Amino acid sequence: MTTLREWVNQSHTITVLSGAGMSTESGIPDFRSPNGVWADEQLMDAMSDVYLESSPEDFWVKYKFAFLGDGLLQAQPNAAHLALAWLEEQGKKVSVYTQNVDGLHQKAGSRHVYEMHGSVRKARCPVCHRSYGLDYILAEEVPYCRAYDVKGTDCNHILHPDTVLFGQEVRHFQQAAFSMMESDLVLIVGSSLTVYPAADLPRFAKQGRAKVALVNLEPTDLDGSVDLVLHGKAGEILPDVL
């Protein structure tokens, strides 16, 4: 704890990679746990770009069940989210690359957040590209685009979620890699580093000057290849360190 506190104090540019452990501490179920959403293989198969194109109405029913349960909708930022936002307020240059889709980093006040797997709080029309917020998504059993096209008629296409589906590429990967190479400190928080390609990012940090610290409840396969490991809850460790 003392070492990480010293590293934070000495660092101006900090890149954070956050994973599911950040969300579970806010009461959001882990998708990949034995009892998580992806334990239902049929539901997991339906969360793909192929299924969205072939059965868009059924896709939205399953998508809402998978992603928009009460656990996520009622979740609030926890102490770890707030600590990272506070760190930015102290004048540090903090970039947060998150594998989570819940928007809790932004809700906590972090300003430079890059959602590698998208967000459940947005959807867009695949034709006219108009964006819609969470309130509209929840209000419609199957959300359609209500914009007018150039002919003055309803666009009326079924929306696509902003969330990255199976079969789609993650976002901001190259930017995250460069950010890690150019940082003084890389913090990996609440990630087991088993989901690729995000799990490849720590190796880019080692190509630069950054020290790499990992904060996670359980051991990971990368514990032996980073500079510092703290096992425990992020919501307890980060506020204490920062």
Q: Which residues contact 52 (CB under 8 A, 6 or more apart)?
A: 59, 160, 165
User: Residue 160's closest CA among 188, 123, 128?
Assistant: 123
Structure tokens at 221: 């396969």
Concerning whether 129 is annotated as a catalytic residue, the answer is no
Known binding residues are 125, 128, 145, 155
How many whole angstroms separate alpha carbon 177 and alpha carbon 15? 10
Known binding residues for Zn(2+) are 125, 128, 145, 155
The phi and psi torsions of 97 (rounded to 5 degrees) equal -105, 115
User: Residue 4's closest CA among 147, 168, 186?
Assistant: 186
pLDDT of residue 34: 58
Classified as helix, coil or strand, 3 is helix
Q: Which of 117, 157, 160, 172 is catalytic?
A: 117
pTM as predicted = 0.93
Helix (H) or strand (E) holding 214: strand 211-216
Structure tokens at 2: 């003392």
Angle at 6 between CA 14 and CA 229, to 5 degrees: 75
Superfamily of domain 2-29+77-119+169-241: TPP-binding domain (3.40.50.1220)
Q: How far is CA 18 from each of CA 45, 133, 160, rounded to the nearest angstrom? A: 25, 24, 25
User: Residue 144's closest CA among 174, 165, 172, 124?
Assistant: 124
The phi and psi torsions of 8 (rounded to 5 degrees) equal -60, -45
- Long-range contact pairs involving 53-57 (C-beta distance under 8 Å, separation at least 24): 56/142, 56/158, 57/142, 57/158
**54 with 209: CB under 8 angstroms?**
no
pLDDT of residue 71: 84
Q: Are strands 160-161 and 185-189 parallel, antiparallel or unpaired?
A: unpaired
The amino acid at 94: V
pLDDT of residue 148: 82
Binned average pLDDT, 10 residues per bin, the chain of 242 residues? 96 96 89 64 88 95 91 93 96 96 96 97 94 96 88 86 94 96 96 84 87 94 93 96 88
- The ranges of the chain annotated as CATH 3.40.50.1220 are 2-29+77-119+169-241
The helix-helix angle for 234-241 and 79-89 (nearest 10°) equals 30
pLDDT of residue 126: 94
pLDDT of residue 42: 84
